[in-house]
Amino acid sequence: MRREKLLTRFKKLFLLTVFFITQLYFNPAFAHVLHYQNLNKLEFDLYRNNQLIGQHIYLFIRNGQNLTVQNKINFKIEKFGITLYKYSSVAQEQYIDGKFDSFSAKTNHNKRKKFCKIYKKENKFFIEGSSYKGNAPEDFIIGTWWNHEIIKYGAQISAGSGRIIEQTVRFIGKETIKINNKTYTALKFNFFSSDPSLSKDKKLNTNVWYDEKTLMWLKTSFEKTGYWEYRLKYFD
């Protein structure tokens, strides 16, 4: 009897998961980034171990059907007034008629310079990065989280270094979350590395929440020498 109950619960959970994934995959919002045509700005606070350490800001600039997404991130970790770690990055994504066209980023990673450029070369996308140089996989997206279509892709490109990260995406469930005194009904996904041979510091294991109605990015969390969170502060 107990086994039958467990199987029934598992079937219900499986069907619920299929339902939400189906809703997302076949929602017209997945057509392209024009889904975000009314979005002008996203501003996130960045926390480490529940302490505010920086900000991440996205600006959405339009010219007809073309979109430029500019983002800037700055944070630092301090102890006893001494800066132990500092990170800053500026990046830009270009979309033509709703389709990805190019990307560029420059990053200062604790005084180490990193970069990433993605552009078309002989009808294929080519990556020039501090960690990788070569052709991009056919199935890829920039790992910048704001675009909910990232759940559909088999690989994301590190915005900081150009590294190709093969990913598996799991739908965790529907959750009610509260951010800055506002309550959202969110869809939670887990992104993790498909390659089990990667070292722990290279493995992707990140949770991301998107608003159920608008699919706007709300929150991200992961663990890496501490517990990190991106929390939506402001949007326009």
Q: In this predicted structure, what is the pLDDT of residue 19?
A: 41
- Average pLDDT of each block of 10 consecutive residues along the chain (236 residues)? 49 43 38 71 96 96 92 92 91 91 93 93 92 92 92 92 93 94 95 82 89 94 94 95
Q: Which residues contact 151 (CB under 8 A, 6 or more apart)?
A: 24, 169, 171, 189
Q: In this predicted structure, what is the pLDDT of residue 200?
A: 74
Q: In this predicted structure, what is the pLDDT of residue 114?
A: 95
Q: What are the boundaries of each domain within the chain?
A: 1-30, 31-235
If you ran DSSP here, which 8-state letter would residue 16 be given?
A: H
Q: In this predicted structure, what is the pLDDT of residue 37?
A: 80
Q: In this predicted structure, what is the pLDDT of residue 44?
A: 97
Q: In this predicted structure, what is the pLDDT of residue 3?
A: 53
- In CATH, the number for domain 31-235 is 2.50.20
Q: In this predicted structure, what is the pLDDT of residue 4?
A: 53
pLDDT tens track for 67-124 = 999 999 999 998 888 988 899 999 999 999 888 999 999 999 888 999 999 999 888 9
If you ran DSSP here, which 8-state letter would residue 142 be given?
A: E
Q: In this predicted structure, what is the pLDDT of residue 202?
A: 76
If you ran DSSP here, which 8-state letter would residue 137 be given?
A: P
Q: In this predicted structure, what is the pLDDT of residue 81?
A: 84
Q: In this predicted structure, what is the pLDDT of residue 220?
A: 97
Closest CA to 219 of 233, 209, 204: 209
Q: In this predicted structure, what is the pLDDT of residue 201?
A: 72
Q: In this predicted structure, what is the pLDDT of residue 199?
A: 75
Q: Which two tokens stand for residue 143?
A: 């790992």
Pairing of strands 41-48, 227-235: antiparallel
Exposed e or buried b per residue across 138-174, where buried means at least 16 C-beta atoms within 10 angstroms of its C-beta: eebbbbbbbbbbbbebebbbbbbbbbbbbbebebeee
Q: Tell me how many degrees the CA angle 145-222-101 measures, rounded to the nearest 5.
A: 20
Cα gap 123→165, rounded to integer Å: 22
- The beta strand positions in the chain, using DSSP E, are 41-48, 51-63, 66-79, 82-96, 99-109, 112-121, 124-129, 133-135, 141-142, 155-157, 164-179, 182-193, 205-211, 217-223, 227-235
Q: In this predicted structure, what is the pLDDT of residue 36?
A: 78
Q: In this predicted structure, what is the pLDDT of residue 99?
A: 87
